[in-house]
Copies of this chain bind each other. A is one copy, B any other.
Amino acid sequence: MRFVAEIGKLKGVLRQTTLFGEGLDRRENSAEHSWHLATMLLVLGEHAPRGTDLARVAAMVLIHDLVEIDAGDLFLYADAEAQARQDAAERAAADRIFAILPADQAAELRKLWDEFTARQTADARFARALDRLQPMLENLNAGGGTWQRHGITADQVLAKVALIEDGSPQLGAVARDLVSEAVAAGILQPAPERRG
């Protein structure tokens, strides 16, 4: 019960993603983001590579951001130094938060989180693909969102789409279409031309 109360704090961790719609127009929090991933999985799970264990993927996406209770959320396009600091903070957070559970459950959830983070298995790669796809949909829905606010261009988004493709070729193709759609709609700037 102490763990159940503790994880409620994730509702207070704000992400860069801006939500748009009735009663929204605010930043997304990591709890509702995680819900969105798990619910997407119910309808997009059929695009997972054969042999993917969808129950494990569901558990991964539900718990993947719990470390942000201590470490906060880092913007996807942060630099390498900020990313390294974040990684250390997240590992420390995982040490603290999962340890609230009885030892067997702590070990089980920590293993899932480590696997999600390492992205070496098919389950983790599919979970990470969902985690990358969802903010793209929110940015489209918000008419540009973080892309516009941070001056992100299509080439930067496409570099991240590679990770979606890696988890699911079908979802990767969907993501590429979304990028084209966003550029065509004028809500995502094309790659800047290089001068030579």
Contacts and interface: CB of A to CB of B under 8 A. Distances in A.
Contact of A24 (B11, B19, B34, B38): B11
Contacts of A42: 59, 62-63, 109
A119 interface: no
A39 B19 contact: no
Nearest to A7: B39
* Interface core residue of A28, A31, A140 (most chain B CB under 10 Å): A31
Interface size class of A (residues with CB under 8 A): 35 or more
Contacts of A182: none
Contacts of A9: 21-22, 24
Interface string A102-133: 00010001000000000000000000000000
A76 to B, nearest CB: 18
A64 to B, nearest CB: 11
Contacts of A140: 5
A38 to B, nearest CB: 5
Contacts of A1: 137, 174
A70 to B, nearest CB: 11
A58 interface: yes
Interface in A136-195: 137-138, 140-141, 174
A170 to B, nearest CB: 12
25 contacts: A1-B137, A3-B43, A5-B137, A5-B140, A5-B141, A8-B36, A9-B21, A9-B22, A10-B32, A10-B35, A11-B28, A12-B21, A12-B22, A12-B24, A13-B23, A31-B32, A31-B35, A35-B35, A35-B62, A39-B62, A39-B63, A42-B109, A43-B105, A43-B109, A55-B55
